[in-house]
Each structure stands twice: as C-alpha cells, then as structure tokens.
Structure 1
Amino acid sequence: MRKILMIIAPRNFRDEELLEPKEIFKNAGFEVVVTSVTSETCIGMFGARAKPDRVIDELNAGEFDAVVVVGGAGTPVLKQYAKVLQILREAKERNKVLAAICLGPIVLAKAGVLEGKKATVFSSGASEIKSGGARYVQESVVIDGNLITADGPQSAKRFGKAIVSTLA
C-alpha cells in the first residue's frame, strides 16, 4: 500500500489541515502515518487530539510516497528539529511528493527545498519562504512539479485532492 507521512507540531497544529487531507488520503486508498517530534498526544488549535503513529526520529523519507507538513500556529517549532529538516531534504532528493499547508511552507524553506520553486503560504510567512528561495504566488493551492503548497485551512480539501492527483 502506498504511504503518506503527515508531520504535525506537538501543540497548535491546525485541526482541519490534518483531518481533512487525512480523510481524503485514506478514501483514496493510501496508508497515512502521522508523526511528530514527540510520542505524546498532540493537540490542535481547536482541540483535536492526535497520537503520533511513530516518532519522527524512527522514520526516513524512503518509506513514503509523499511527505506533508501540516500547518497551524505551532508549526514553526518544527524548524528547530534537525530530523524534520533531514526528512524533507531526503524526500526532495528522492523525488517524493513534498507538500505543506498554512505555515508549513516555512519549514520547507528552512530545509532548503523551495529554491526556485513556486509556492504559497499563510500570508504572514511570505517573506520567509521568499528568503528560502521560493517564488511566492498568492494563490490558495500551488503545484510546482512534486511540490504542493496551500495557504491555509480554507484550502485543506483542495490541498488534499491536489496531493492525491499528483500521486496518481
């Protein structure tokens, strides 16, 4: 079965940016693995609870067809974790689908995987992804090859569908 990795912050991930794409992925027949930098239950901005299936330190990008960074106010903390950045770089090197929504693209920027790519982000992150070499596009969902980015929770369903289409 094809697998999608979803990376969430331990606190304040955006609930619907995890739950809506995850449901789309499962309905399309993908196995979904949720991970974080902790094994503890993670809490969303609106109270969603998600127990990581595996801790990120146990993983490598080669196991997955796509790696997705879920957004939310807590997402910037992921930039501090070398293993998160390593998995994102590894996914790019292996030509996997890389995706991020809301503030997730700033984590991709920190990993150095946006250079020369068109991308979008929650408006407050625009300067940060530009600093990371992205060509910022103010659209709800942007697809540039195997890179898919979205601007926020209102785009979560379109984001999930775009990832499934890219993997088809």
Structure 2
Amino acid sequence: MSNVAFLLANDFEDSEMKVPYDEVIKAGHQADIIGIKKGETLLGKKKEVSYAADKAIADVQAGDYDAIIIPGGSSPENLRQNADILKFVKEANEAGKPIASICHGPQILISADLLKGRTITCYPPLKDDVVNAGAEFKDEEVVVDRNYITSRTPKDEPAFVREILKVLK
C-alpha cells in the first residue's frame, strides 16, 4: 500500500480534502496530513470538516511518500510561499511521484516553477496563471499528464479520486 501526503492549511475546500482522503484510507493506503505546524487544527472554509496536521512540513521528506495530494480552496495560497512546501513538491516531482491537485492546488505547482511544458486543469479563473507559468490548460474534469493529476472543482471529485486510486499501489 502507498503512503500519501496531503498538503493542507486552513480554509481548504472541505470536500476536496474529505473525499480524496476518505477514499485513499478506504482503499487501504496510509495518509499523512502535512501542515506548517504538527498538531495544528486546520479548518475547511465551509467549516464542515477539520483535521489536525499529523506532521510539519519541515520534518518530512518527499522520499517518505509515494504520492502527494493538494486540495484546493485557499489552502494552496496559504502554503505556496513556504520554502519547505516548495522543496517537498519539487523533490517529489524530480522523483516522478504522482502529484494530484484540484481547484486552486496548482498554485503550489506555479510557485514551485513546475508547470513549464505540462498540461493541466484547475479552477477555471486560474487559467491565465497556469498558462503564464508555462502550462497548457484543458477545461476537463480530470487531466493526467505524466505524474500530474489535476481537476477543476468539487463536481470533478469522482474522476479525480478515480485517477488517484489508479496510480496508488
């Protein structure tokens, strides 16, 4: 079974965390919620769910995980300027590990300078940002480009989860 890192900060889109997290666990995989501070309570923007960070980003290495999932909402905006988050994602990408991001999740990939020559989707208002970062944007429920899995909004969660579970071993 795979060990999956969920990168999370406050104001995440509730279902974009809950649905993939629950499905990854249900499929028998290990999941760690990685935040800025270990033990910090992280609250969804709709206040429907909250999670405690299992580990701090400064205490983990990309090599410890088989895949990364980045839920959307305002969480990626709250994480994208953290050097440890960017280093973690860059190292995972260099190792070819699956990186799944939904909605605003690609903001972290933009800040990590990982979108040049890639094809992704995201929350449609971010289209210009991902294109300016060097990616081709596709307005589809899920786009898989090598090790990237991206989706647009909560309505795309079934396709997003399906593609994540395909790549987890």
TM (norm. structure 2) is: 0.94
Aligned partners of 1:70, 1:144: CA distance in 2, in Å?
Answer: 18
In structure 1, C-alpha distance between the alignment counterparts of 2:119 and 2:77, rounded to whole Å: 20
Structure 1 stretches of 4+ moved >3 Å: none
Separation in 2 of the partners of 1:38 and 1:152? 27
Query: Quick one: distance in 1 between partners of 2:18 and 2:159?
Result: 13
Q: Say what the alpha-carbon RMSD is for the aligned residues.
A: 1.2
Structure 1 position 133, deviation (Å): 1.2
Report if aligned partners of 1:21, 1:161 keep a CA contact under 8 Å in 2: no
Moved more, 132-141 or 154-163: 154-163
Q: Secondary structure of 1:12's partner?
A: coil
**Would the aligned equivalents of 2:81 and 2:111 in 1 still touch at CA under 8 Å?**
no
User: How far did 1:12 drift?
Assistant: 0.7
In the TM superposition, what are the counterparts of 1:1-168 in structure 2 within 5 Å?
Answer: 1-9=1-9, 11-39=10-38, 40-47=40-47, 48-168=49-169
- 1:90 and 1:121 mapped to 2: Cα distance? 22
**Sequence identity percentage:** 30
Q: Encode CA deviations 1:104-155: one digit per residue, 9 max, x unaligned.
A: 0121111112221110010121111112211111111110111101101111
1:16-38 Cα deviation digits (max 9, x unpaired): 11110011111221101111112
Counterpart AA for 1:6 = F
- The one-letter code matched in structure 1 to 2:166 is S
Q: Show structure 2 runs of 5+ residues with no match.
A: none
Gaps of 5+ in 1: none
TM-score, normalisation: structure 1 = 0.94
Which residue identity does 1:2 align to in structure 2?
S
For these two proteins, the number of residue pairs brought into alignment is 167
Amino acid aligned to 1:26: I
Distance apart, 1:78 and its partner CA: 1.2
Deviation at 1:73, TM superposition (A): 2.6
